[in-house]
Structure 1
Amino acid sequence: MGSKTTIAYGNVKIKSPYEIKTILNLRMEKSINDHAKIYISGIISDENKAKYVEQATIKDVIEVTQTDDNSATTKLFKGIVTEIQIKAARGVYYIDIVGASSTFNMDIKLKRRSFQDKNMAYTDLVKKVIADYPGDSIDIAAKGKKLEKFIIQYDETDWAFLRRMASHFNTGLVADHLSDKPKFWFGIPEGGSKGNLEEFNYSVSRRVEDYRQLSENRVEGIDTADFTYFEVETDKILSIGDTVSFNNITLYVYRSSSYIKSSVLRHLYYLAPKKGLTQDLLLNDNACNKAVEGKVIEVKEDNVRVHLDIDKEQPKDKAFWFPYSTTHTSEGNTGWYCMPELDDKVKLYFPTNKEEEGVIVDSVRRRIKGGDKIQKPDEKYFRTKFKKENKFTEKELAFSAKDDKVLISMHEDKGIEILCDSELKIKSENDLIINADKINMEASKGIDIVCNSSSIKMDGKTDIKGSLVKIRC
């Protein structure tokens, strides 16, 4: 919608595209790993009841400010409308509006892409992800650390993906609730000390379950005291990451809820020691038991580099080395070693929810047209690009080094046939025994049989030579 209207509720002003006659309720929520949210309920005029729903767009903006006794204005929220509802009761029309920080725009489209360069810094990964948006990010957690492993974004929104990346540092994302563009902190912002909280309305709890889950899953240096949480109500304006002193304890804001109470804007803050803000590691459950196809771009030993179909570009020198799963490979000198060729289509399979454990399996045939090698499913072939072939049929086992020109064929009915278009040598260090009922030897030019000083030469004439020649008739 176009124009904006402003309505005051005490010392709070709400600017939106909707002309609200009376504000009934206002609530704002902020927490780690979620967008800042706002909920507004009010009364609208009869003539606006239909057009607000019909004309609502994703570009509608809500802004909330507060003015203190000295006429100083503080911004409390700026974001976009995500939901609007009109209700009628006894001739009165009510409007319910739900809004979110601009980071909501990063949490809509599911995407697939990979980050194969293990030397890429997390900061560069974040910059690449947010390049599609006009916003910004502030790196608190990564501080130049490299990926050191393969990373894939698989059916995740950019927000969900970056939230998982932040969990690698046991931290989270914090949305900027005042920006009109997607902006967030990669890690908990360091808001600085905001002094003492001297409030009498509070509650305290200890989350032992959270402590056990984190302490037993790779998070070190924490104890149960770190998971003591306070809920304090005050009129003081604080942000996530701000520190306060409460009951002589230094605590950090990790969540807040703001609302109108007795015509005054109040804030309920959730406070914890610094280590109590620790986030659990998020794994890639979407990719578990899934596979992504790609093209082989390099092969080394039993590893391959692959340009995945989900990526537009993949520099070969920055591609990740994946292990290739063969039928059988032992640690010794036995096994099956058969690697895919360059440009072969293969599948990258993720057996677990840890993408770094992905393995290349199955070459995928891309048939452009049929061939004589695949017309009979009961015949098996093993063939290389160098035209070396093993063929297994119902009655024949054949080994070919040059198609039908250098061939050994073993056939159930026809016996054994050896074909060669060049020299054929049979050499033995010991005895060579040929035993048959009948032996036929044919040659177009000649046959020579030599043993030491004795020889038989047949080339149209027959010459027999030896120190002693016996002829029996």
Structure 2
Amino acid sequence: MGVLHALRVKSPYKLLRIEDIKIDNKPNEHGYLYLKCLIDDSIKFQSAINASASDKICVYEELEDENLRESSININVVNENKSKILFNGMISSIKTTNNNGVYYLEIEGITSSFELDIQEKSRSFQNANMTYEELIGTILKDYSGYSYTQCISKGRKIGKSLFQYKETDWSFLKRIASELNSELFCDIMETRNMFYFGRPIKASYEIEDSGFYKACKDLKRFHEAGGLEAGHDTDYFYYEIKRREKYDIGDKIRFKNKDFYVNQYSAYALKDEVIYKYRLCRKNGIWQTKMYNSLLGGGSLEGKVLAVEGEKVKLNLDIDKGQSKEAAWFSYAPPTGNTMYSMPVVGTSAALYFPNESSEAPIVTGCVRKNGGSCAKTSDTTKRYFGTEHGSEIEMTPGALNINGGSKEPLNISFDDNTGVTLKSPKKLSLNADGEIIIKTPQNINIKAESQIIVAKAGMQSGFSIENEFHFAGDTTIEDARDRETYDSFDDEPKVAQKSEEKQEKKEEKKQEKKGFSWGKLALAAVAAVAVVASVATFGVGAAIACAVAVACVGVICAAASTSTTSSSSAGGGENDIGARIMSAFKGALSGANRSPIIKSFNSLKEIGCDIWRGFENRGEKALDSPYDFVNWAAIGIPGAIKATLQSNAERSEKAFNSVYDFTNWLSFGAADMVKGAVNPEDP
């Protein structure tokens, strides 16, 4: 056992004798073989030249036959019934060496697990209900004819999303095993079984403590595992022993009255023997600390949004060929926080961000723009836009900030450095505040509306409205004005349009009326002329007295004219004698039949007398203060009063003929004003 001449090799090459051998089998590493053999010099370099990537190699240890000589042994022939495998794998390297005409072939082999460590891949496993068996089975689908052995976590669910990013399947599987505090172990003897997921459980042995051994403690791994929080440092104590006997990974060894497990071993040639060096570890000491993918920390993976619910998003990552409905929900948290917050839309691109290398709790950080080159809004790098699928948008330019709604008639708020602040609303615009709303400007405040402007006080019926006219409402109304004027009611009912023939007849009647001579108008004009002449002749005082005497007669004449006009119109007899009508009216007045004009004229005469007396008293007080005042009163004041009286009479005459009552007032109050102006003129 353990001699070189007992080794057999099955390979594509012809070997004469094994000069050296080395085998390594360690956790999380591929099994390794180094073999140096003597070859026939006639072969020379053909072995290296003709080697292919599919070449396999298997090293056996055959039970020793004492009847056989070493020189008669053909190491290329193997009796598998009497041999056990030391290494079985694929050739990773081959080299031929010529040393003074002696040719050596050096071969390096590696276990089939190396197939998992060739190509880097990126993909995700988002179904948290997937078991570890299903996960590994999905990975091994790409390796037809190979399998593995599940040693831990059988039936256990992965419980979270797992991400393989720019790493080989072997590296990814090592990370997955480390999360379970375990390791991968290569099957160094069976090529079809690529690895053991976790520590395998195999045979048990008990060995003596005689011979070579060392006692060690791996404090580095103890600290990497978490120190005292993860356990005691005695769990990381181990022995190193050397034996000629062959043990496998996972074998339980009873050594120095304690149980240990074969964690790793190596084999090497020592003279003509093969020596095995084992590491015996305690159960907890072989646990692996958690491993990470440093490329994931701080990285982002892009993908299409599959679904949105609340603040969660499902993604079909670009690294995946397809994503099932069991995709994981990821939290959405854009870099801007709650500012510019908008959930992504199904079908758009988004980025999945990994805050640390543990790949736990990744978050969707925002959408990824794919049309930056073709979008007109992004062609100008000085402008920024934030928009939603509904059409709402915030535009940020060097000189303005514009906020637009997404409706057909959008709301708009513009903050422009040139034009100021502009608010536009197709419907209602409300300003509500618990406190005050202050609008203040040194310039004008313009409020424009097409139909109505209303200012009302909340909770009370107070305010005003503008709708073609002003309307005021309040609990208390104060009327304050300088001029109050009322108007008689009138009929504003629309009239039926007259035919052109009727209009023509009325025009002819009016022309005939204008052609007739009116004695009444002539009498009224004569009275007015007499009054004016009298006023001028007596310097104002005579006008007052003459008007006072004539008031009664004028009132009678006015009444007669009015009555005559009415009666003549009703009779339809044309023109009547004005003298007869005046005489009739005067007789009626004397007999009491028509007293109204006389009474009004008498009242006016009474007022004129009072004004004359007061005027003389006031003017006398002022006129006698000095000779100069008296001269001004006589020379300037009285003529000015006459002029003002004439102007006033002219103005009054325009209104005097509206009615009998107005004509009487014109004569009465006109005379009174004339007296005031004559006897009490304004100081020059």
- Identify the TM-score tier after normalising by the shorter chain: 0.7 to 0.9
Instruction: Indicate yes or no: 2:451 matched with 1:441.
Output: no
Quick check: 2:212–2:242 contact (8 Å CA) kept in 1?
yes
Shift of 1:298: 2.8
Give the alignment partner of residue 377 of structure 1, picking from 377, 381, 384: 381
What amino acid is aligned across from residue 382 of structure 1 in structure 2?
Answer: F
TM-score where L is the length of structure 2? 0.60
Offset from partner CA, 1:95-122 (integer Å, 9 cap, x none) = 1110011111111111111122222222
Q: Residues of 2 paired with 1:218 and 1:162: CA distance?
A: 26
TM-score where L is the length of structure 1? 0.85
1:285–1:433 distance in 2 versus 1, CA, 3 Å: closer
Number of matched residues? 452
- What's 1:4 paired with? none
Larger radius of gyration: 2
Matches within 5 A, 1:258-407: 258-329=267-338, 337-367=341-371, 370-401=374-405, 402=407, 405-407=410-412
- What's 2:82 paired with? 72
What amino acid is aligned across from residue 110 of structure 1 in structure 2?
Answer: E
Instruction: Indicate yes or no: 2:423 matched with 1:413.
Output: no
- What's 1:248 paired with? 257
Give the alignment partner of residue 60 of structure 1, picking from 45, 55, 61: 55
Q: Residues of 1 paired with 2:266 and 2:204: CA distance?
A: 20
Matches within 5 A, 1:90-101: 90-101=100-111
Quick check: 1:305–1:322 contact (8 Å CA) kept in 2?
no
Q: Relative to total residues, which structure has the larger strand share, 1 or 2?
A: 1
1:388–1:55 distance in 2 versus 1, CA, 3 Å: same
Once structures 1 and 2 are overlaid, which stretch shifts more, 404-413 or 165-174? 404-413
Give the alignment partner of residue 169 of structure 1, picking from 173, 177, 180: 180
Q: Residues of 2 paired with 1:107 and 1:313: CA distance?
A: 24
Q: Residues of 2 paired with 1:433 and 1:206: CA distance?
A: 80
Once structures 1 and 2 are overlaid, which stretch shifts more, 336-345 or 273-282? 336-345
What amino acid is aligned across from residue 86 of structure 2 in structure 1?
Answer: L
Which secondary structure does the structure 2 equivalent of 1:268 belong to? strand
Offset from partner CA, 1:396-419 (integer Å, 9 cap, x none) = 333221377432334343345444
1:397–1:55 distance in 2 versus 1, CA, 3 Å: same
Q: Residues of 2 paired with 1:197 and 1:323: CA distance?
A: 62
Shift of 1:37: 1.1
1:280–1:429 distance in 2 versus 1, CA, 3 Å: closer
- What's 1:51 paired with? 46
Once structures 1 and 2 are overlaid, which stretch shifts more, 407-416 or 344-353? 407-416
What amino acid is aligned across from residue 95 of structure 2 in structure 1?
Answer: Q
Offset from partner CA, 1:140-184 (integer Å, 9 cap, x none) = 122222222332112211111111111112211111112233521
Shift of 1:240: 0.3
Give the alignment partner of residue 13 of structure 2, picking from 18, 23, 47: 18
Matches within 5 A, 1:223-234: 223-234=232-243
Which secondary structure does the structure 2 equivalent of 1:254 belong to? strand
What amino acid is aligned across from residue 348 of structure 1 in structure 2?
Answer: L
What amino acid is aligned across from residue 233 of structure 1 in structure 2?
Answer: K
Shift of 1:423: 3.2
State the superposition RMSD in angstroms. Answer: 3.1
Offset from partner CA, 1:285-344 (integer Å, 9 cap, x none) = 232232221222233444332221111122244324234234234xxxxx6633333233
Q: Relative to total residues, which structure has the larger helix share, 1 or 2?
A: 2
Q: Residues of 2 paired with 1:276 and 1:209: CA distance?
A: 12
Question: What fraction of aligned residue pairs are identical, expressed as a percent?
Answer: 28
Q: Residues of 1 paired with 2:36 and 2:116: CA distance?
A: 26
Quick check: 2:44–2:103 contact (8 Å CA) kept in 1?
yes
Shift of 1:434: 7.5
1:19–1:327 distance in 2 versus 1, CA, 3 Å: same
Q: Residues of 2 paired with 1:285 and 1:465: CA distance?
A: 77
Shift of 1:81: 0.1
Which structure's relative contact order is higher, taking Cα pairs within 8 Å and 6+ residues apart?
1
- What's 2:155 paired with? 144
Gaps of 5+ in 2: 66-80, 484-684
1:46–1:404 distance in 2 versus 1, CA, 3 Å: farther
Offset from partner CA, 1:418-462 (integer Å, 9 cap, x none) = 444x5334466899887863746363xx5476976986544xxxx
1:55–1:437 distance in 2 versus 1, CA, 3 Å: same
